[in-house]
């Protein structure tokens, strides 16, 4: 029996989870859970890396207090963002968050100023999103960001936290691959792109493949937590890479939908698919475990729903002067099941929006953005919570259908199953609607895909499991999947 600790940070919340591998089965226990709110300051949006560090310390302290004997620790987070460190190794302020508007218009600017769009795609095979690290770094240079000027190290978020905990700086492959700085042909950061940015290669640290030892907890962290000199493993630092590694598939004939704040829909391929069509459809080729490629597309996932729910919560808090009453109402009225049940009583496909419209990326009010979109596109405006939720679910499924059709064209194999993993896989209605619309069998689960991938990667590094298919077998043996057959 062996225990591993996963630090799994998403764009809205984070967790520390202990995974126990015993006789070919893996069990999870959540130790701590915390929010990861954005900080709005001076026209920018930041992550609170110091607070996240403290939360990690709290999770490690809990591990020590509980006397859980862990083999190692792994960190996975959302992609594209990075932290800057100075000459003395100190963090140069909190990192800018990918929803910050500082990259608006920067892609086009970069193509005109530094490297044509086609060449960027040919070199990276990464979908164009204005928050890719490439354009964030360019935007910071254009805005004379003082941190960037002083930076001696640029580390992607999982690597930055790993550095804060061990003092060792690397550039982990999976998280580097989503930055639009990595060239899949060389497996390293692209020299020409770095030249175009004017940044030296060594600033990012040496490339580390998933499943290697980063280093051990610093004496300071050991003292703070009561743990010993435990190793941190560079797992698949990108949460999506960890999640896809945990898809409990039996063979290659599957597509996946990693469903959380984002919906990442794609296939796993032995090689990158970089051609005119993949560029036209704006598909991405991210690096995975054991030489695999994640050929996928980002679809705005539960983000719109999460934002609306937060706004409704605020509304209730202002309406109700009695706090206990407000909390009670929030619990009842905004329970996921209640919102979903009510949505399903509404007429289907009454209002459809494109969830990937830039209007929905980071609006001040999501409810207002939906209203404005519907007005501009002559769609009936959803008024009630149920109507809003129905509109969001229908719109997502509609988008899934389009992207799935493209995936079927690209896949060098037939797709017989869509695996839905992550928190969104708990929405049974959405799973069935997806199966119906796509005309494919859906297998839902595990909900904790990223944490499982993180833990299994640690087990793989320690020799507890073999390759990615062994990891998937262990996961499949440990959980119950829900099956949804498509209705005509
Ligand atoms: C999902 C995710 C996704 C990135 C986005 C920024 O959490 O890592 O793969 O594109 O966040």
264 lines ligand 1 (CB under 6 A): yes
pLDDT of residue 199: 98
How many of the other CB atoms lie within 10 Å of CB of 282? Answer: 15
Same CATH fold assignment for domains 2-237 and 249-445: yes
Question: How far is ligand 1, taken at its centre, from the CA of residue 88, in Å?
Answer: 30
**pLDDT tens track for 155-176:** 999 999 999 999 999 999 999 9
**C-alpha span between 230 and 133 (Å, rounded):** 31
Question: How far is ligand 1, taken at its centre, from the CA of residue 395, in Å?
Answer: 20
Residue 69, pLDDT above cutoff 80: yes
Give the CA radius of gyration of the chain.
22
Question: How far is ligand 1, taken at its centre, from the CA of residue 347, in Å?
Answer: 32
**pLDDT tens track for 211-231:** 999 999 999 999 999 999 999
Residue 454, pLDDT above cutoff 80: yes
Protein residue whose Cα sits closest to atom 6 of ligand 1: 79
Question: How far is ligand 1, taken at its centre, from the CA of residue 321, in Å?
Answer: 38
DSSP structure class, residue 464? S
DSSP string of 108-172, one letter each residue: HHHHHHTS-HHHHHHHH-----TTSHHHHHHHHHHTT-HHHHH-SEEEEHHHHHHHHHHS---EE
Residue 37, pLDDT above cutoff 90: yes
Q: Calculate the alpha carbon distances from 63 to 14, 16, 30, 207 in Å.
A: 16, 9, 11, 30
Q: How confident is the model at residue 438 (pLDDT cuts 50, 70, 90)?
A: very high
pLDDT of residue 392: 98
427 lines ligand 1 (CB under 6 A): no
Residue 11, pLDDT above cutoff 90: yes
**C-alpha span between 391 and 370 (Å, rounded):** 10
Q: How confident is the model at residue 488 (pLDDT cuts 50, 70, 90)?
A: confident
Which atom of ligand 1 approaches the CA of 11 most closely? 7
DSSP string of 246-311, one letter each residue: T---SSS-EEEEEESSEEEEEEEESS---SHHHHHTT-EEEE-GGG-EEEEEEEE-THHHHHHHHH
Give mean pLDDT, residues 176-181: 98
pLDDT of residue 327: 96
Give mean pLDDT, residues 40-66: 97
pLDDT of residue 439: 98
**Those residues with Cβ within 8 angstroms of residue 203's Cβ, 6 or more apart along the chain or in another chain:** 151, 152, 153, 154
Residue 386, pLDDT above cutoff 90: yes
262 lines ligand 1 (CB under 6 A): yes
Protein residue whose Cα sits closest to atom 9 of ligand 1: 240
Protein residue whose Cα sits closest to atom 2 of ligand 1: 78
Which residues are known catalytic residues? 239
CATH superfamily of 2-237: ATPase, nucleotide binding domain (3.30.420.40)
Protein residue whose Cα sits closest to atom 10 of ligand 1: 79
Give mean pLDDT, residues 390-412: 98
pLDDT of residue 440: 98
**Those residues with Cβ within 8 angstroms of residue 324's Cβ, 6 or more apart along the chain or in another chain:** none
Q: Is 181 helix (H, G, I), strand (E, B) or coil?
A: coil
Q: Are 247 and 449 in contact (CB under 8 A)?
A: yes
Residue 196, pLDDT above cutoff 80: yes
Protein residue whose Cα sits closest to atom 8 of ligand 1: 78
Residue 73, pLDDT above cutoff 90: yes
This prediction's pTM: 0.96
Q: What is the CATH number assigned to the segment(s) 249-445?
A: 3.30.420.40
How many of the other CB atoms lie within 10 Å of CB of 438? Answer: 23
pLDDT of residue 174: 98
**C-alpha span between 37 and 12 (Å, rounded):** 6
Encode 347-375: b = buried (16+ Cβ within 10 Å), e = exposed.
eeeebbbebbeebbbbbeebbebbeebbe
Q: Are 184 and 272 in contact (CB under 8 A)?
A: yes
DSSP string of 51-96, one letter each residue: HHHHHHHHHHHHHHHTT--EEEEEEEE-SS-EEEE-TTS-B-SPPB
**C-alpha span between 331 and 272 (Å, rounded):** 45
β-bridge mates for residue 183, sequence order: 188
Question: How far is ligand 1, taken at its centre, from the CA of residue 289, in Å?
Answer: 17
Q: Are 251 and 231 in contact (CB under 8 A)?
A: no
Percent of the chain whose predicted confidence (pLDDT) is above 90: 99
Q: How confident is the model at residue 14 (pLDDT cuts 50, 70, 90)?
A: very high
Q: Are 5 and 73 in contact (CB under 8 A)?
A: yes
**C-alpha span between 38 and 56 (Å, rounded):** 17
**C-alpha span between 233 and 458 (Å, rounded):** 6
The rounded mean pLDDT for the chain is: 97
Domain boundaries defined on the chain:
2-237, 249-445
Residue 342, pLDDT above cutoff 80: yes
């Amino acid at each position: 029996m062996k225990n591993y600790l996963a630090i799994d940070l998403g764009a809205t919340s984070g967790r520390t989870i202990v995974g126990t591998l015993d006789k070919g089965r893996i069990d999870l226990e959540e130790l701590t859970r915390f929010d990861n709110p954005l900080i709005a300051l001076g026209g920018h949006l930041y992550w609170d890396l110091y607070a996240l560090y403290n939360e990690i310390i709290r999770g490690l302290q809990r591990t020590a207090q509980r006397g859980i004997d862990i083999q190692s620790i792994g960190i996975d987070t959302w992609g594209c963002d990075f932290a800057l460190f100075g000459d003395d190794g100190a963090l140069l302020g909190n990192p800018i968050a990918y929803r910050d508007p500082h990259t608006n218009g920067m892609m086009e600017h970069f193509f005109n100023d530094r490297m044509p769009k086609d060449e960027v795609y040919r070199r990276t095979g990464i979908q164009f999103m204005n928050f890719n690290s490439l354009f964030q770094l360019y935007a910071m240079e254009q805005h004379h960001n003082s941190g960037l000027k002083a930076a001696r190290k640029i580390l992607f978020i999982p690597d930055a936290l790993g550095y804060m905990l061990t003092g060792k700086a690397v550039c982990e492959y999976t998280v580097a691959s989503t930055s639009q700085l990595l060239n899949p042909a060389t497996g390293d950061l692209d020299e020409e792109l770095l030249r175009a940015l004017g940044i030296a290669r060594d600033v990012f640290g040496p490339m580390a493949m998933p499943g290697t030892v980063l280093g051990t907890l610093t004496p300071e962290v050991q003292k703070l937590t009561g743990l010993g000199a435990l190793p941190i493993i560079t797992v698949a630092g990108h949460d999506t890479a960890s999640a896809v590694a945990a898809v409990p598939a039996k063979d290659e004939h599957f597509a996946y939908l990693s469903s959380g704040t984002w919906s990442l829909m794609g296939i796993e391929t032995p090689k990158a698919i970089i051609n005119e069509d993949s560029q036209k459809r704006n598909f991405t080729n991210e690096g995975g475990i054991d030489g695999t490629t994640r050929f996928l597309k980002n679809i705005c996932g539960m983000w719109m729903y999460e934002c609306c729910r937060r706004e409704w919560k605020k509304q209730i808090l202002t309406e109700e002067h009695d706090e206990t009453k407000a909390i009670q109402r929030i619990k009842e009225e905004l329970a996921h099941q209640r919102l979903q049940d009510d949505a399903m009583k509404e007429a289907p496909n009454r209002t459809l929006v494109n969830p990937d419209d830039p209007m929905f990326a980071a609006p001040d009010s999501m409810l207002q953005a939906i209203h404005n979109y519907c007005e501009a596109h002559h769609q009936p405006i959803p008024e009630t919570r149920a109507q809003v939720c129905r509109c969001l679910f229908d719109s997502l499924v509609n988008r899934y259908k389009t992207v799935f059709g493209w995936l079927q064209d690209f896949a060098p194999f037939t797709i017989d199953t869509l695996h839905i993993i992550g928190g969104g896989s708990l929405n049974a209605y959405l799973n069935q609607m997806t199966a119906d619309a796509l005309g494919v069998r859906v297998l839902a689960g595990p909900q904790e895909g990223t944490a499982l991938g993180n833990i299994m990667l640690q087990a793989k590094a320690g020799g507890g499991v073999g390759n990615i298919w062994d990891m998937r077998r262990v996961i499949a043996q440990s959980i119950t999947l829900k099956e949804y057959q498509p209705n005509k």
